C-alpha cells in the first residue's frame, strides 16, 4: 500500500460539517451582519413584477399547431400537455399542462474553510415568482441556457468552480428531480464543491456556516428551494455524543448506522424496487390544446374548477439579473401546500415516515415523499390524502419544525408550502405498504444517488438535520 490510492475521507468531512453546524453564531459573518447585509440586498435589488396578458409576452408565444407556450428560440422551457394513465391513486387517467425543461442545470454551493470552520457561499437572489422577491440561494443557480448565454446576459458568477472540479474537492454531486406534478422530467445537478482561500464573496454573496443556515431554515420564505435541495445532498454531520433524551440526541443517533434502523437498508431498497415494479404509469406528452378540463383566457390557462394551478405571464423589471428586464410565463399553484414529515423515536433513534409517491413528471414514476404532501384546497373532506387529518389536527407540543417555505421563484408564482416536522409516538400508517420508517442515515445514503427522494422530502431532510 503506497500513497497512490485514496482512502475514505468521509469521517473527516463529517467532523467538519458537525463543527460548522455547531457554529450557529457564525465565524466569517455574524448573524447580525447577515441580517444587515440581507436587508440591504433586498433594498438594492429592485425587482418589479407585473401580471400581463399572454399577448404582451416578448419572445414567448403559443405554437399555432400545438398550442404549447414556448420561447421562440426553443430554449428555457415550454408549457405543454401531458396525458397520464395508471399510477396508484384514486384517479387513474387524466391530462394536464406541465412544464417541459429537459436541460439539466446546476445548483451549486461553494464551501470554504474560514477560521477553521466550513462556510457556504450563499447568494441573495431575486426571482420573479417569490412572494418576497429576494431569498437566500445557492452560490450558483444556472440553467444550461444561462451558461451557454441564451439569455444574452452576463456570465454567471462562480460557475467556473462547478464546471471543472479537481479530485477530492467535490462534497456532493448528484442529479435530483424537481416537482413531478409541475415539471416533466426536470432534473438539476446538485453540487457542493470546496474552493480555496482565493475565493471571496461578491456584493450579493455571503459566507454562512451550516449552523447559521440551519437557523435561517426556520425563517419563513428565506432559504430558497434550490439552497434547500443542495443542502440536503450534503453528507451527515458526525453524530458526536449520542447521549441525551432530547430530540436532537435522537437525530444524532439516527445519523449513526451503528444504532440500527427499524428496517435494514437492503429491505428498504427492496421495498422501493417493489414499488417501481408494481406501479405502471404511462405518460405521453401531448399538445397543450388537447388537454381536457383546462381553459385558456387572455390572462391564464386554468383548470375549469379552479383546482391545481394556473399558467400566467409576468413582466419583470430588475437591475441585478443577467438582463435588466424581461417577460416570462410562470406556473401559479392555487393554495398553500401542506408538506409534513411524521417522525418517531424508536429505541431512541429518530425515524421519519416516508411515502412512496407517484408523480407523472418523475423520470421513473415513484419517488419517496414526505408523509403528507398536498394542497388541502384541492380535496373535499371525503377524498383526503392519508394522514392529512392527523397533520391538520397536530398538537403544538408535537411540532418540531414549522415554517412556510417557497418553491423555485424562477418558474413558480408565489408557490409556498407549510413545511412541518411532527413527532408521534405510535404507528399511524399501520398496514399501509406505501409508507416506511427510515433513519436519517438511510435517507442520507439514498441522497447520494438520483431520484430516490423528491424535492419536498429533500427540504425536510435539511430541516430534520437542523433540529436541536
Query: Would you list which residues are annotated within the binding site for dTDP-4-dehydro-6-deoxy-alpha-D-glucose?
Result: 60, 143-147, 181, 226, 294, 357, 373-375, 378-379, 408-411
- What string marks each residue from 88 to 127 as x (binds its own copies by CB under 8 A) or -? --------------xxx-x---------------------
Does residue 9 belong to the site contacting its own copies (CB under 8 A)? yes
Binding flag, residue 380, its own copies (CB under 8 A):
no
CB of 118 to its own copies, least distance (A): 16
- What residues between 189 and 208 interact with its own copies by CB under 8 A? 189, 191
Of the pair 8, 380, the CB lying nearest its own copies is at 8
Q: How far is the CB of 342 from its own copies (least distance, A)?
A: 18
Part of the chain binding its own copies (CB under 8 A), chosen from 7-15, 43-51, 90-98, 375-383: 7-15
DSSP letter string, 93-146: EEEEEEEE--S-EEEEEEEEEETTEEEEEEEEEE-TT-TTSEEEE-SEEE-HHH
Q: 438: which 3 cell numbers?
A: 427510515
- Taking CB under 8 A as the criterion, the residue among 7, 43, 381, 395 binding its own copies is 7
Minimum distance between the CB of residue 169 and its own copies, rounded to whole angstroms? Answer: 9
Please report how close the Cβ of residue 262 comes to its own copies at its closest, in angstroms: 6
Asked if residues 205 and 389 have their Cβ atoms less than 8 Å apart, the reply is: no
Nearer to its own copies, 276 or 292 (CB): 276
3-state SS, residue 311? strand
Nearer to its own copies, 185 or 465 (CB): 185
Among 35, 92, 448, 468, binds its own copies (CB under 8 A): 448
Does 173 bind its own copies (CB under 8 A)? Our answer is yes
Contact between 97 and 291 (Cβ < 8 Å): yes
**Radius of gyration of the chain, Cα coordinates, nearest whole angstrom:** 22
Give the distance from CA 66 to its chain's centroid. Answer: 31
Cβ atoms of 132 and 221 closer than 8 Å: yes
Interatomic CA distance for residues 450 and 188, integer angstroms: 10
Tell me the DSSP string of 218-256: TSTT-B-HHHHHHHHTSPPPP------SSHHHHHHHHT-
Q: What residue ranges in 143-230 does DSSP mark as E strands?
A: 170-177, 183-184, 187-194, 205-209
What is the separation, in whole angstroms, between the first and last Cα of the chain? 42
Q: Distance between CA atoms of 326 and 32, rounded to whole angstroms? A: 34
* Pairing, β 337-346 against β 416-423: parallel
Say how many residues touch its own copies, by CB under 8 A: 51
Stretch of residues binding its own copies (CB under 8 A), selected from 224-232, 272-280, 299-307, 320-328: 272-280
User: Among 197, 241, 243, 277, which residue interacts with its own copies (rule: CB under 8 A)?
Assistant: 277
CA proximity to 361, closest of 90, 106, 225, 179 = 179
DSSP-assigned letter for residue 304 = T
The residues in 30-89 that bind its own copies, with binding defined as CB under 8 A, are none
Please report, in range form, the residues annotated as the binding site.
60, 143-147, 181, 226, 294, 357, 373-375, 378-379, 408-411
Which set of grid coordinates corresponds to residue 309?
A: 394551478
Taking CB under 8 A as the rule, does residue 259 contact its own copies? Answer: yes
Nearer to its own copies, 9 or 154 (CB): 9
Q: Minimum distance from CB of 379 to its own copies (Å)?
A: 31
Residues 313-372 that bind its own copies (CB under 8 A): 346-349, 363-364
**Contact footprint for its own copies (CB under 8 A):** 1-2, 4-9, 102-104, 106, 165, 167-168, 170-175, 189, 191, 257-267, 269-270, 273-274, 276-277, 280, 282, 346-349, 363-364, 448-450
Amino acid at each position: 500500500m503506497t500513497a497512490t490510492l485514496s482512502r475514505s475521507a468521509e469521517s473527516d468531512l463529517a467532523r467538519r460539517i458537525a463543527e460548522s453546524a455547531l457554529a450557529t453564531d457564525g465565524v466569517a459573518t455574524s448573524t447580525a451582519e447577515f441580517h444587515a447585509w440581507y436587508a440591504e440586498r433586498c433594498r438594492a435589488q429592485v425587482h418589479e413584477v407585473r401580471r400581463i396578458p399572454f399577448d404582451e409576452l416578448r419572445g414567448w408565444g403559443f405554437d399555432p399547431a400545438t398550442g404549447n407556450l414556448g420561447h421562440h428560440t426553443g430554449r428555457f422551457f415550454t408549457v405543454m400537455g401531458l396525458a397520464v394513465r395508471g399510477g396508484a391513486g384514486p384517479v387513474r387517467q387524466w391530462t394536464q399542462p406541465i412544464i417541459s425543461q429537459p436541460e439539466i442545470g446546476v445548483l451549486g454551493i461553494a464551501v470554504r474553510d474560514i477560521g477553521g470552520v466550513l462556510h457556504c457561499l450563499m447568494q441573495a437572489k431575486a426571482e420573479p415568482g417569490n412572494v418576497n422577491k429576494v431569498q437566500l440561494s445557492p452560490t450558483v443557480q444556472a440553467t444550461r441556457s444561462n451558461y451557454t448565454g441564451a439569455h444574452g446576459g452576463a456570465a454567471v458568477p462562480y460557475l467556473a468552480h462547478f464546471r471543472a472540479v479537481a479530485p477530492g474537492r467535490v462534497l456532493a454531486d448528484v442529479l435530483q428531480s424537481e416537482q413531478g406534478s409541475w415539471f416533466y422530467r426536470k432534473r438539476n445537478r446538485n453540487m457542493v464543491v470546496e474552493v480555496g482561500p482565493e475565493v471571496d464573496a461578491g456584493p450579493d454573496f455571503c459566507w454562512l456556516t451550516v449552523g447559521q443556515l440551519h437557523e435561517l431554515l426556520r425563517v419563513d420564505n428565506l432559504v430558497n428551494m434550490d439552497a434547500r435541495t443542495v443542502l440536503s445532498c450534503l453528507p451527515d454531520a458526525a453524530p458526536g455524543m449520542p447521549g441525551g433524551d432530547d430530540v436532537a440526541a435522537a437525530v444524532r443517533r439516527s445519523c449513526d448506522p451503528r444504532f440500527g434502523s427499524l428496517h435494514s437498508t437492503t429491505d428498504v431498497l427492496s421495498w422501493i424496487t417493489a414499488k417501481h415494479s408494481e406501479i405502471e404509469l404511462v405518460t405521453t406528452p401531448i399538445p397543450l390544446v388537447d388537454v381536457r378540463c383546462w381553459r385558456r383566457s387572455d390572462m391564464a390557462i386554468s383548470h375549469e374548477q379552479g383546482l391545481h394551478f394556473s399558467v400566467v405571464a409576468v413582466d419583470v423589471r430588475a437591475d441585478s439579473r443577467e438582463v435588466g428586464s424581461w417577460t416570462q410565463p410562470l406556473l401559479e399553484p392555487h393554495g398553500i401546500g401542506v408538506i409534513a414529515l411524521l417522525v418517531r423515536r424508536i429505541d431512541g433513534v429518530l425515524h421519519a415516515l416516508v411515502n412512496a409517491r407517484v408523480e407523472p413528471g418523475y423520470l421513473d414514476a415513484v419517488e419517496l415523499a414526505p408523509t403528507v404532501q398536498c394542497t388541502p384546497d384541492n380535496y373535499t373532506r371525503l377524498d383526503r390524502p392519508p394522514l392529512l387529518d392527523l397533520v391538520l389536527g397536530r398538537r403544538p407540543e408535537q411540532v418540531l419544525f414549522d415554517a412556510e417555505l417557497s418553491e423555485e421563484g424562477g418558474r413558480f408564482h408565489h408557490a409556498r408550502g407549510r413545511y412541518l416536522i411532527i413527532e408521534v409516538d405510535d404507528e399511524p400508517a399501520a398496514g399501509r405498504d406505501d409508507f416506511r420508517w427510515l433513519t436519517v442515515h438511510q435517507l442520507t445514503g439514498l441522497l447520494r444517488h438520483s431520484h430516490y427522494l423528491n424535492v419536498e422530502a429533500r427540504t425536510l431532510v435539511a430541516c430534520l438535520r437542523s433540529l436541536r
